[in-house]
Amino acid sequence: MSFEKVLDQGYVRLVNHMGSDLTIVNAARVSYAKESVELTERDMKLIRFLAREGHTSPFRHVMLQYEIYAPLMVARQWWKYIVGSSHMEGTGDSLDAWNESSRRYITEEPEFYIPNHQEWRGAPAHSKQGSGDVLPGEQGAKLSAELLEYVELGIKKYEAALESGVCAEQARLFLPSYGMYIRWYWTASLQSVCHFLNQRLMHDAQQEIQAYAKAILSLSEPLFPVAINEMVHVKEETLI
């Protein structure tokens, strides 16, 4: 499977990938002018050693490319991994790439994330960030209705601005931003992907980006089962 649906209208699609667990092994063994033709138990031990000891450069010789459709609030959290990838210890220059759709150029019908009545969360009791327990259904239903009304008003004003001759790059100012879905391509080394997963699969990560991280894991693990098992420390049984 190369496609995972996320939230109400979002998704992650695996577009392309390069390499395998064997690629990681051979990247490490080139120092000794050696190469494996098929993955053996000895090779798996090498991957475990590399992951355990923090010898991460071989994991940057395999790449994954995804198409992601997510609310802007998720995208902007995600973007920090592109900015930060070149500063990760031992990584050298970043191999990550990000190309995003822009409403300067497209005027397709905008879509928005509208949580259902069971998805609204209260503020946490002992923290200034994050979220707490799910709000009562009646309150959630009211919030969903109010958000939908607000979004519909913004879309009407956006479309009216376009019809009146306003350029697309300014007409978009009328659109509510954080819940609006955007589309982008993310190409990253396996090391970068695993770094993202280790942080955004954690129980205290924002639930919406957790959902996308689970989709990334589901699509990626079959391609690099040994490496991801060793590099991703948040195991499936701990996910909420």
pLDDT of residue 93: 46
> For residues 203 and 183, is the Cβ–Cβ distance under 8 A?
no
**Tokens coding 77:** 């959290």
pLDDT of residue 122: 93
pLDDT of residue 1: 66
pLDDT of residue 82: 73
> For residues 201 and 207, is the Cβ–Cβ distance under 8 A?
no
pLDDT of residue 94: 52
Report, as residue numbers or ranges, the catalytic residues. Answer: 200
pLDDT tens-place values along the chain, 240 residues long? 699 999 999 999 999 999 999 999 999 998 777 788 899 999 999 999 999 999 999 999 999 999 999 999 999 999 887 755 554 444 444 568 888 888 777 777 899 999 999 999 998 887 777 888 999 999 999 999 999 999 999 999 999 999 999 999 999 999 999 999 999 999 999 999 999 999 999 988 999 999 999 999 999 999 999 999 999 998 654 454
Q: Where are the domains of the chain?
A: 3-105+184-238, 115-178
> For residues 20 and 62, is the Cβ–Cβ distance under 8 A?
yes
**Tokens coding 150:** 């607000």
Beta strands in 3-156 (DSSP E): 3-6, 10-18, 63-71, 97-100
Residue with tokens 């259902």: 116
How far is Cα 116 from Cα 182, in angstroms, rounded to an integer?
20
pLDDT of residue 91: 46
CATH classification (class only), 3-105+184-238: alpha beta
The residue among 67, 49, 59 whose CA lies nearest residue 19 is 59
| φ/ψ (deg, to 5) at 75 | -60, -40
pLDDT of residue 33: 74
pLDDT of residue 85: 55
How far is Cα 179 from Cα 131, in angstroms, rounded to an integer?
17
CB atoms under 10 Å from CB of 218, counted, come to 14
